[in-house]
Copies of this chain bind each other. A is one copy, B any other.
Amino acid sequence: MAELPDKRTAFMDWYLAVVDGANLTDKRYPVKGMNVWTAYGFRARRNLDTVLIREIEATGSEAVEFPTLIPATEFAKEKEHIKGFDAQVYWVTKGGLSELDVPLVLRPTSETAMYPIFALWVRSHRDLPLNVYQIVNTFRYETKTTRPFLRVREIHFFEEHTCQANEAHATARVESNRGAFRKMAEAFALPYLPIRRPEWDKFPGAFYTVALDIPVGEARTLQIGSIHHYRENFSRPYGIQYEAADGAQQFVHQTTFGLSERLLGAILAVHGDQKGAVFPTAIAPYQVVVVPIPGTDAGDGPLRAATEIAERLRRHGVRVHLDGGDERPGAKYYRWEMAGAPLRLEVGRREAESRSATAADRLGRKSKVSFDHLEHEVGERLAEFDRALLERARSAFASSFSVARSVDQLVGSTTVRVISWCGSEECGHRIETAIDGALLGTPEEPLPIPVGEPGPCAVCGTAESTRWALAGRPL
């Protein structure tokens, strides 16, 4: 039971220790950056996917699945796109004992797999909009240091791809995706900021990119998702066109929306503390852990009572785990705190007799829960826990931003900086050099701190049409 590294001063060491301690993944698989989802980790992932599926389907998107392998010939069709990815893909060159005529790429993302088929599916304006998504694994031959969930070579991935009749409809789909993500983030209790990336940092082939970023301390940021407007940039090379109501042939305007297992990393990074992981109830593998405390004179009362309440909660739809093992209660508390279970119910002799369990939530708040009103009171404790978790995350979120009045103030910054920018690439790169990171782009929603109106560009002094930009150090 070694102490965790300090989250503030040694974030990545802390993060890696939490991932290990919570037993979410096994990194000992003999391919670098490809990890095993343990049973516990898989439960968290499944709960996360459930939220994504619920919210995206509520906006009229349907699940599909395209093949994992993409012929080199299709992959090469969109030049900007291949330029962004060709050094980062895995190549299948052999099938059985012979060389393949056309090498196959393990999808890094599925534009080039889907769009030749979209060209067959979309014929008329009546086929639009086409809103489909898939949850699959993607592959990147990552050369940077890999980190569980944050940067891996096999990535659990969510990708929506849509075809719209025109640019305005595509813009509306971007807005709809933003609304869907707002609801997803609520379930994760995760404050974030949608940021329009600068031209030089948008997705290869995109018209524009709205990234979904969170700060994770020390001016570092994590991109947890992105929404792209492609205009006709892919539909032209792939020939995705339709007959409009007036009989004219038109190219569709496309959008995509991408999320990944990095969301799980973000949940760990934002909510975790010096005791380990902390899961919001929507994601928690087990929302409630019941621990019987078999005192020397307690008989089997505690175990019987613990079994009863676990069974009742399970029937009520709560994800509950009865930890009836023969470890000391203290060891169990330690383990389930590390594993991030939102609520622990302790049942000793006294609790069994008084038919009221001791409840301790993962934020350390204790109370009593009567067996008579078990389902209702546990529901209340879980809701209170989610509220408190969100409040804590919001407060940390707000204190992660501050205004920089000059480029000098960017140097060595420990918060994400809000700075006036004229919009030029030259000034943008000056900002990036100063913070030793990236100009993240311009916020698409109000910042969590009062900032007023932007002044003249902090780099060149231009006063005309400046905007607030964000500067930080992406993980």
A contact residues vs B (CB 8 Å cutoff)? 26, 28-31, 34-39, 42-43, 45-46, 62-71, 73-74, 86-97, 104, 106, 113, 116-117, 120-121, 132, 137, 139, 141, 143, 154
A65 touches which one: B30, B42, B113 (CB < 8 A)?
Answer: B42
Return the 5 tightest CB-CB contacts between A and B, nearest first: A39-B62, A91-B94, A95-B141, A34-B67, A37-B65
Residue of B nearest to A131 (CB): B39
- The complex is assembled from copies of this chain, and their number is 2
Q: How far is the CB of A219 from chain B (nearest CB, A)?
A: 30
Give which listed residue, B39, B65, B90, contacts A95 with CB less than 8 A.
Answer: B90
Closest to A89 in B: B96
Closest B residue to A37 by CB, please name it: B65
> In the complex, A94→B139 CA distance in Å?
13
Contact at B29–A67, with CB atoms within 8 Å?
A: yes
- Sampled A-B contacts (9; CB under 8 Å): A26-B120, A29-B117, A31-B71, A36-B64, A36-B67, A39-B62, A68-B154, A92-B106, A93-B94
In the complex the two chains form, is B67's CB within 8 Å of A120's CB? no
Chain A: interface secondary structure? mixed
Whose C-beta in chain B lies nearest to the C-beta of A74? B30
- B137 touching A68, Cβ below 8 Å: yes
Does B96 contact A141, Cβ atoms closer than 8 Å? Answer: yes
Q: Are A67 and B154 in contact (CB under 8 A)?
A: yes
Q: Which residues of B contact A69 (CB under 8 A)?
A: 31, 34, 90, 139, 154
Complex: how many Å from CA A117 to CA B35?
A: 11
Taking a contact as CB atoms closer than 8 A, the residue among B87, B97, B117, B154 that contacts A26 in the complex is: B117
Give the docked Cα–Cα distance between A88 and B94 (Å). Answer: 10
